[in-house]
Amino acid sequence: MPRLSADERGLSQSVQYAVILPALMLVTLGIIQAGVWIHGHNVAIRAANAGADIARGSYGTAAEARAAAMTLAETGGLRDVQIDVERATDGVTVSVSAGAPLIFDVGLGRIRETARAPVERATPP
């Protein structure tokens, strides 16, 4: 069995690194992108819940709820934020639709979350 010279051993190591490093970089990028996507969903849920909490109060309005949810969503890093607030006599629904700041958007960048809550009512004792 012939022995490999020092140059041939270095060549085989270079080939291993040429195959492994791009795969390792793709895995790392995928983990970062998944974390950003999950963060975007958490921010959208939080913005929808904050808007619903404001709109469900006795003196809360849809405009105040929309402003609070918009501030929270934009502060959290979401882009192209659209907020719909529907306040009825029995409940309130806040929908947040926004784009997550992904590195490579593969069709999962648009986030939609909804929060529903009953409207507070004052009743005589």
| Mean pLDDT across 79-102 | 92
| Mean pLDDT across 93-118 | 89
Contact 61, 55 (CB under 8 A): yes
pLDDT in tens, 5-29: 555 555 667 777 788 888 999 999 9
Q: Which helix (H) or strand (E) holds 42?
A: helix 6-55
Residue 81 CB partners (closer than 8 Å, separation 6+): 47, 70, 73, 74, 96, 97, 98
* Structure tokens belonging to residue 48: 């929808």
Q: What is the pLDDT at residue 123?
A: 76
Rounded distance between C-alpha atoms, residue 52 and residue 44, angstroms: 12
pLDDT in tens, 30-82: 899 999 999 999 999 999 999 999 999 888 889 999 999 999 999 999 999 99
* Domains of the chain from N-terminus onward: 6-118 (3.30.1300)
Q: What is the pLDDT at residue 115?
A: 95
